[in-house]
Structure 1
């Protein structure tokens, strides 16, 4: 093997090692920006292809450079996804991820990937979302963010301030303890499995909001449903039509307690919740089969 080949192989090995070392971080960045694991994986593939063309000798910080490439690819995809979402049947919810306990233990990470927060991020522009995620979740410096989004550092600071104000105005109330969240989810589960749905009045907040996502493939409400009585009627109607055995498996989705609902043993959907003051204030029910591929095995999410 000649010297050029040896150098080339060393560079390839170095590039591969760096990408593998930061892969979970890059996936987390892409997912936080997109709300779709499938699209995040596509972004990682695009990042890998572009990373393979980079002269590593010119790269001072490989992690920062990889995050920059991932951000740019995610921004491109996020703008394209906007058209897909406009044509989406009914409400669009993020793709739920089965997560390990360490995600729930990281309070800031768990909040940032919660269904409620991911929906808040949907209200930002693509650039605002990228800046907010990189700054608030991953603590990336303004200069590095500027390089990733093709803006000046001064402009990035303004965007970050504007995005933070926007998110703070819509941010879900401070999360309750994991024990209280689990207790609320377990009470919800018992009501579903026993059919005693009126018992949900003790579990649901009066102004609870249910958002269901069937993607035009599975039946779901075309608009959010607000109010405990209306939510119970909706759930009761679905249970009656099913004429089948409904069960719920307790799990952790996006760093929070959730249920995997099964009808006659077959997965019907994932129900994530937002709990406030010991009661369920938000229900996010994903039934679209294309979004249920990440609940069989845990997806590692990291911020470092």
Structure 2
């Protein structure tokens, strides 16, 4: 494909950029980094002079965007972050058009599991499983032998299937049970919906008032959620984030978004997104009193 076709045809450019965004989001866990990497890769393609255009522009863009994302990922891991870190939640409508199976890799729980992998393992797995690239092509992207890339991807998949296995999607009926119990202030009913070692993870980077350490245990988590709901004054609304149901709420003038994940039919994880920097790409209802 001629580079001009990628850059000048709107439909092709939208498709290619969407693919790069999906790649970047899987590799970094933040939409901002994904956008930066995608746009910089496209800008570099534009900057190539006559005679320097790649034979396969999409493969070239994939290589450049991947390396840019890995640079951002490594740099971020050397930075100080206050409290727990969670992937950036985004409006489902922003996600690239993919099969349901591939979109499962864009859930917050899965992105958080990716975060526990080494950068090379993460990239090898994403390029192989989400984009079906041959190991030889991934080897060129990561500048490593194909045998090593195969080992990275295999090790990453093995870890995700065992010690890093992410909790599953929360069915609507379980969400409704938990929300009903929390809003009614019923501590026992709330505990009954949670696993014994349930965990509430709050991401704020110290920018707003939030728990800096994970809250662990069904009773503590239930108490935390009930008290938090009391502070909303009813300012709670359902939203869809990363292809899953979520709840947007305003407590003491602060926007928060909560998502659930389950293990063995009970809520195992509650992700509280509180960092305002990460809450700019969400489909919020107009009647929710969101702070400006």
* 2:137 aligned counterpart, secondary structure: helix
Change (3 A) 1:76 1:101: closer
Unaligned stretches of 5+ residues in structure 2: 285-292
Quick one: which of 68, 74, 99 aligns to 2:69?
74
The yes-or-no answer on 1:172 pairing with 2:165 is: yes
Q: Distance in 2 between matches of 1:133 and 1:16?
A: 28
Is the 2:204–2:210 contact (alpha carbons within 8 Å) kept by the matching residues of 1?
A: yes
Shift of 1:39: 1.3
Q: Does the aligned pair in 2 maintain the 1:108–1:137 contact within 8 Å? A: no
Alignment partner, residue 200 of structure 2: 210
Q: CA deviation at 1:100?
A: 4.3
Q: Deviations over 1:116-148 (max 9, x none)?
A: 211111111111111111112221111221111
Matched, 1:35 2:29: yes
Deviations 1:87-109 (A, max 9, x none): 11100000001214998994423
Q: Report SS of the residue matched to 2:171.
A: helix
Match of 1:269 in 2: 256
What residue number does 2:290 align with?
none
| Alignment match, 2:88 | 95
Aligned partner (choices 238, 252, 263) of residue 250 of structure 1: 238
SS in structure 2 of the partner of residue 170 of structure 1: coil
2: CA distance, partners of 1:267 / 1:104: 32
Residues 188-224 of structure 1 show CA distances to partners (whole Å, capped at 9, x for unaligned) of 2223433334421232122211111111011222222
Distance 1:160 1:105 in 2: 21
What is the TM-score with the length of structure 1 in the denominator? 0.82
Shift of 1:44: 1.6
For the 8 Å contact 2:120–2:142, the answer to whether it is kept is yes
Shift of 1:36: 0.6
Structure 2 partner of 1:50: 44
Aligned partners of 1:274 and 1:280 also within 8 Å: yes
Deviation, 1:269, is 0.9
- Equivalent in 223, 230, 234 of residue 233 of structure 1: 223
Call closer, same or farther: CA 1:279–1:248 in 2, change over 3 Å.
farther
- Counterpart in the other structure of 1:6: none
Q: Displacement of 1:267 after TM fit?
A: 5.9
Q: Which residue of 2 aligns with 1:302?
A: none
Residue segments in structure 1 that go unaligned for 5+ positions in a row = 1-9, 298-304
Inter-CA distance 141–267: structure 2 relative to 1 (3 Å threshold): farther
Alpha-carbon RMSD? 2.8
User: SS of 1:47's equivalent?
Assistant: helix
Across the two proteins, how many residue pairs are aligned to each other? 280
Segment of structure 1 superposing worse, 53-62 or 20-29: 53-62
Structure 1 position 245, deviation (Å) = 0.3
Q: Residue 195 in 1 paired to residue 195 in 2? A: no
In the other structure, the counterpart of 2:281 is: 294
Of Structure 1 and Structure 2, which has the larger fraction of its residues in helix?
Answer: 1
